[in-house]
Structure 1
Amino acid sequence: MTDQAVDVNSPDRIAEPPFLGRRRELAELRADLERAGLNTISGRKEPRARVLLVAGRPGSGRTALAEEITRRLRDGCPGGVVRVALTEPGGDPVPGERSARAVLAALGVQAPPGEAEDALTQRVRETLAERRALLLLDDALDAEQVDPLVPGTPDCLVVAVSRGPLTGIPDVRPCTVGGLDSAAAVELLGRYAGAVRITVDPQAAESLAEECGGQPAALLLAGGWLAARPTASVADLARRLRDLGPEPDVPVGDRPLARAFRLAYDALPSSVAYTLRLLTLAPAGLADAHTASALAGCSVPSAAAHLRDLAGLGMLRPAPGAGPGQVPAGRREDSADGRYVLPGCLVPLLRARTELQDRPGELRLARARMLERTVRLLRSCRAVTEPDGSPARKQLAALPRAMRFPSAAAAASWLRLNRPALLAAARVAAQDGELDTLARRLVAALVRALAAYEGTEAAAPDLYGLHHLVLDVARRRGLHRERAAALLNIGDLDARTGRTEDALARYRAALDAGRAAQDHYATGRAMESVGGAYQDLKDWHRAADWYGRALAQRLSRGERPDEARLYGRLGTVHAYAGAYDDALREWRAAVACHRRLDDSPGVARALSEVARVLEFAGRPHDSLRTCEEALEWAVLAGDERLRAALHLRLADTLERMGDPAAATLHRGRANRLLGPDEAQD
């Protein structure tokens, strides 16, 4: 399962066959929904959404039942249906921050990067309070994962899936899911094995369904085994399952699935079994031909064939959005036919096999191959947006055909579909501890791809988490330069979202890291950013102090463009503080820097700021002359918008000096430069 949020009404969802059985459970859930809550009985209005709980062990069909009741109830929820998995494929809980972001993303709400978990869950509840939506929370481990996401309005509905009761959420009655009834179990077998074999020996089919405990996951494996062996009988399979023994080390309720898996797995060719075991390393449990190829060390076509075989055997399921026409790269015959999900109920069984059959070093090598392939695909995804003849395009042409994207649209589709898996891959690489160089390359490639296709603003929430991953790796490895860069990036995102105090702490830490690395760029950038944070906090004295420190470093290194910018920033904060003489001195120094750089637009802008400060200082005549000089430089630079702005400033100054006729003349010139639409704005 992944932490991706999906609208179940989306056309990207896979068309599934009609739902089987579960009449009792569906009726129980309907009755629970219609049952009056404790607040209603006491005469009070329900303060929050009702929670329907589907409880059962993995492989029991609990998620399918939740999807079915959701499908039947969604017409009464015009606000849409959102599905979020609360557990990672390996069994770890999904952090609340990611779950809340997934819900918001599905609802089309952009949350600020770096926002705290409590604020995000509050945003979820506020958003859902304005719409009548249905929230499907799959694979919840405890009530602490579910409760913060429950909307505070009775107009919404929550369907939760868990292994057992969610103690702590009031007025929730679990609908316990066991095995399918005999008729539904036999029909499910027939979908895979073929109706003829079931019809000719119905008693054996019932016996087989009983051996599988009526569990859908076990029945799918049994049906896949039969589908792969057209000459085998249903009775023969039932006998084989009985002969496997009771699996004493496995809990009683999990034994049918464990035995069905053992029989199906032992019948796999060694290469296919090896691929299946390694799919437990696939990020977010999502696998395509490239992932399987890199993990198993085989060709892409061979990996695609293995995935198709495993899907036919019931060991993989199509992922949302998979299918022909959405191949990530290369031609269809060279790539996967789609993307697949490894069922969560099989992950513990496969990991037990992995511990017995695969060496840790081999697993690390497989993970490294997969991450390296991901880096190359991300670079290919980014390179396809570059112009023809660029270095990136030349590198793209050197890649194998299966790793090249035919167009930017195909690359964008691949990035969108695989985004949860790509982010999970970055987290896995950073947490491994032995693949830090690869982790840094992967994060860098993912950051560039997201920025290229979505822009830094839209991708900011994901970029915030990625920069934190780089920071973790840099701290672990003592990489001061990388730590400074990550802290600066995180600080910029904090500052952009109004968390100025947090940004200030990041910038100060980045300054320490830059000094430790003896990185002049990082230290200068950090000092300037500290000054900017103090400016945002309206602490003009400290802002000027830090800008002065940054300027001193730039002056010592002869970095003229940075000098000009910092003179301007100093002039700005001095003007805000009312120190107009100091402001004039700094802005005139900026003018001199721009002149030395032969930067006519820069000279014009700096002179316009000098004119502004002169006006604030009560020297309108000097301001007027300086503004006219700035206008001459703007004409020289050919900057019509700047010329128009200066004409408007001249008009305002002339009006205050009592010359409305001249002011009208300058406004007319500004209007002609801007055009009628912009002038009206």
Structure 2
Amino acid sequence: MTDQAVDTDGGGLPGPAPDTAPAGRRLPESRSPERPADDRRHPDRSAPDAEFLGRAHELRELRADIARAGLDTLSGRKAPRARVLLIAGRPGQGRTALAEELLRRVADRYEDGVLRARLSEPDGTPVPTERTARQLLAALGRPVPPGADEDELSQLLRDALGERRVLLLLDDAAGAEQVDALLPDSPDCLVVAVSRGPLTGISDVRPCTVGGLDTASAVTLLARRTGAVRITVDPRAAEQLAETCGGQPAALVLAGGWLAARPKAAVADVTRHLDADTEGGAPLSRVFRLAYAGLPAGARRMLRLLSLVPAVPADPHTASALAGCSMGAARGVLDECVDAGFLHRLPTELPQYEVPGCLQPLLRARAEAEDRPGELRLARARMLERTLRLLQSCRAVTETDSPASREKLLATPPALRFADPRAAADWLRARQPALLAAARLAVADGELDTLARRLMSQLVRAMVAHLGTQAAAPELYGIHRLVLDVAERRHLPRERAAALLNLADLDARAGRDRDALTRYRAALDAGREAGDPYATGRATESVGAAHLALGDPDRAADWFGRALAQRLARDERADAARLHGRIGGAHARAGRYAEALRSWRSAVTGHRRGGDVVAQARALGELAGVQEAAGRADEALQTYQEAVELARRAEDGRLQSALHTRLAEALERTGDPAGARLHRGAAERLRAAEPGTAPDGAEA
């Protein structure tokens, strides 16, 4: 049983809790190990069962503020940014519930929908602006450059929102800086910010301070939790309890949960217990002590453990691993805590639960007082180990062609097994924010670095397997930075080199060539320190590629030459042949055609000796291009013919089509239009036979 007047970020039960996806976007359906065979045994205890309570005055003022002229309008200027409405108050007072009710009433004015973002973790830690901007851009369907900084992402978000008429809820803002970085540069948008205090520094903010509920609404909230009979029998006691709780929804929900669990108790019993509390404190603290003491020992322990991982929404897997119990038992305890008002159940397809922000510090203090540090660390390690095994299963289900993977998958316990790749992909998308938060938590812990490294490795492999490297690049960038943090903290040069190489590759793909060059050089130093020939060789070659991208072919050729010497010393002939080609490309960029021809001929010879016909054909195509640039048109045409023949022998239709096209272009330049038409026709026939082939001018 829930109430819409309860704060979703710091009250008791949410009503309704803020959606984790933008309006109009369905959360993915999922069939995962977390869903029981019969979900009807576990109803959604967070579904609202009644209309919004109270706050009529606040809603009228907020709606009037939307239409009220701003300072810019009064001065005759057009408003440069979106209107900002602020709902301020302490966690647990119903701030977010009021914001959600306002959104429900005015959403039809904003045809481009509603976006939601939470700017603080449940424990109060501010969420980095770049992470929030990245999530909002993804929700808008805009590409997110991996590794982009806060300023770039904020500008991309403002550009995207400037084209729309949207309603943006920024929940639990820690300060004005967070909100200011996300404000749309469009007066057609409306921003509703929820915060503990004022947003000093943002112009023309319309504040609405939220206090306790009025007595009638507070009593109604109690009645919804306890049933109407006890309220009707003693209405004066109910009013007194509401006054004792200060009208705070979170405190009322906990008090109602205590009464609901004790059908024979009277409403006055709660007030009597609270008056007898000698520890004092705010109403929420006093009600918390009463409600917490009334829980079974297992539920109290579960709540203390959940407070250790505030950034990760709990699910039955997380809870069972933390407590060291079965998933069924964990699910029962979680639902019991929801009924008691200590947890929110999130409105997601997978069962997920969250500790209200206002209860986080209270539960964390209990954990520090009642549990030994070693027990808490062991519980966190169990949670990370379970997450690791789920990621392994998520990835393994995509590798059914491998007998070893199939055998490993069959050996996985049924509770950790996915039915098919689609179920695994749905689970990964639904739990991705929690998985990334778990990785950040593991790194921040500082004592679980081995588990953290394994977890991040499996997370990268699972995301690449299901989402692809390109789609997962923004998240992969963050994971590689976490790996780098652990490697530097633990003085692991091999892992440091790998993380730097991965980050530099993503920088290079995003066009940040100078950043990539810096990281490739750092990876080279780390690879040399670790004595890792693979990392050293790849970093050396990548430094050359970065110089080439920066327009310095001389240095590029020099670094490619160093990489070639390393490959030759290790007798890595295929890589040596490829590097001959890269050196030839650098020389050609610099206009040194004689050196370029020698290098490309060496590349052709190396590929021929290695038996790689496709690579040999590609190298011949590049050699022909250099010959033509050097003024040797007849030699170039002959070399193109040889390359086409090799591609035909290799049965590579795409390469053959590209080479026919390049040969046709060369014939046109030499004044042979008939021959050019012949080869263009051949290229078109090959492309028609293979619809996935590249268009004219594709690389050969």
TM-score tier by shorter-chain length is over 0.9
**Which amino acid is the alignment partner of residue 74 of structure 1?**
A
For the 8 Å contact 1:285–1:342, the answer to whether it is kept is no
For the 8 Å contact 1:5–1:106, the answer to whether it is kept is no
**Which amino acid is the alignment partner of residue 311 of structure 1?**
V
| Aligned position for 2:392 | 379
| Aligned position for 1:435 | 448
**Which amino acid is the alignment partner of residue 85 of structure 1?**
R
Closer, same or farther in 2 for the Cα pair 1:295/1:35, shift >3 Å?
same
| Aligned position for 2:145 | 112
| Aligned position for 2:516 | 503
What do residues 519-568 of structure 1 show as CA deviations (whole Å, max 9, x unaligned)?
00001000111111011111010000000000000000000111111111
More moved, 34-43 vs 588-597: 34-43
What do residues 472-523 of structure 1 show as CA deviations (whole Å, max 9, x unaligned)?
0000111000000000000001110110000000000000000000100001
Give the Cα–Cα distance (whole angstroms) in 2 for the partners of residues 653 and 108 of structure 1: 42
TM-superposed deviation, 1:110 = 2.0
More moved, 388-397 vs 508-517: 388-397
TM-superposed deviation, 1:644 = 2.6
**Which amino acid is the alignment partner of residue 76 of structure 2?**
G
For the 8 Å contact 2:312–2:437, the answer to whether it is kept is no
TM-superposed deviation, 1:244 = 1.8
Secondary structure in 1 aligned to 2:342?
Answer: coil
| Aligned position for 2:38 | none
Closer, same or farther in 2 for the Cα pair 1:170/1:647, shift >3 Å?
closer
How many residues of Structure 1 are paired with residues of Structure 2 in the alignment?
Answer: 661
Closer, same or farther in 2 for the Cα pair 1:601/1:679, shift >3 Å?
closer
Closer, same or farther in 2 for the Cα pair 1:129/1:524, shift >3 Å?
same
Closer, same or farther in 2 for the Cα pair 1:191/1:473, shift >3 Å?
same
TM-superposed deviation, 1:274 = 0.5
Give the Cα–Cα distance (whole angstroms) in 2 for the partners of residues 6 and 670 of structure 1: 47
Which of residues 229, 247, 252 in structure 1 aligns to 2:262? 229
**Structure 2 residue runs without a partner (length 5+):** 1-8, 11-17, 28-43
For the 8 Å contact 2:309–2:441, the answer to whether it is kept is no
User: For the aligned residues, what is the CA RMSD?
Assistant: 1.9
| Aligned position for 2:480 | 467
Which of residues 649, 652, 664 in structure 1 aligns to 2:677? 664
Determine whether 1:206 maps to 2:231. Answer: no
What do residues 15-72 of structure 1 show as CA deviations (whole Å, max 9, x unaligned)?
4332111111111212222322222222222121111111110111111111111111
Secondary structure in 1 aligned to 2:165?
Answer: coil
Which of residues 79, 95, 100 in structure 2 aligns to 1:46? 79
Determine whether 1:280 maps to 2:307. Answer: yes
For the 8 Å contact 2:308–2:364, the answer to whether it is kept is no
| Aligned position for 2:214 | 181
Closer, same or farther in 2 for the Cα pair 1:522/1:318, shift >3 Å?
same
**Structure 1 residue runs without a partner (length 5+):** 327-337
More moved, 534-543 vs 116-125: 116-125
**Which amino acid is the alignment partner of residue 386 of structure 1?**
E
**Which amino acid is the alignment partner of residue 124 of structure 1?**
L
TM-superposed deviation, 1:167 = 1.3
| Aligned position for 1:70 | 103
Secondary structure in 1 aligned to 2:594?
Answer: helix
Secondary structure in 2 aligned to 1:459?
Answer: helix
TM-superposed deviation, 1:640 = 2.3
| Aligned position for 1:330 | none
Matches within 5 A, 1:1-150: 6-10=21-25, 12=27, 15-17=47-49, 18-150=51-183
TM-score with structure 2 setting the length:
0.91
Which of residues 478, 494, 518 in structure 1 aligns to 2:531? 518
Give the Cα–Cα distance (whole angstroms) in 1 for the partners of residues 525 and 147 of structure 2: 22
Give the Cα–Cα distance (whole angstroms) in 1 for the partners of residues 19 and 358 of structure 2: 18
Closer, same or farther in 2 for the Cα pair 1:616/1:423, shift >3 Å?
same
Which of residues 579, 582, 592 in structure 1 aligns to 2:605? 592
TM-score with structure 1 setting the length:
0.94
| Aligned position for 1:412 | 425
Secondary structure in 2 aligned to 1:625?
Answer: helix
| Aligned position for 1:542 | 555
For the 8 Å contact 2:310–2:360, the answer to whether it is kept is no
Closer, same or farther in 2 for the Cα pair 1:38/1:452, shift >3 Å?
same
TM-superposed deviation, 1:658 = 3.0
| Aligned position for 1:673 | 686
More moved, 547-556 vs 6-15: 6-15
Closer, same or farther in 2 for the Cα pair 1:314/1:572, shift >3 Å?
same
Closer, same or farther in 2 for the Cα pair 1:657/1:51, shift >3 Å?
closer
Secondary structure in 1 aligned to 2:86?
Answer: strand
**Which amino acid is the alignment partner of residue 603 of structure 2?**
A
Matches within 5 A, 1:221-370: 221-245=254-278, 247-248=279-280, 250=281, 255-282=282-309, 284-322=311-349, 326=350, 338-370=351-383
TM-superposed deviation, 1:112 = 0.3
**Which amino acid is the alignment partner of residue 277 of structure 1?**
R
The percentage of counterpart residues that share the same residue type is 64
For the 8 Å contact 1:32–1:173, the answer to whether it is kept is yes
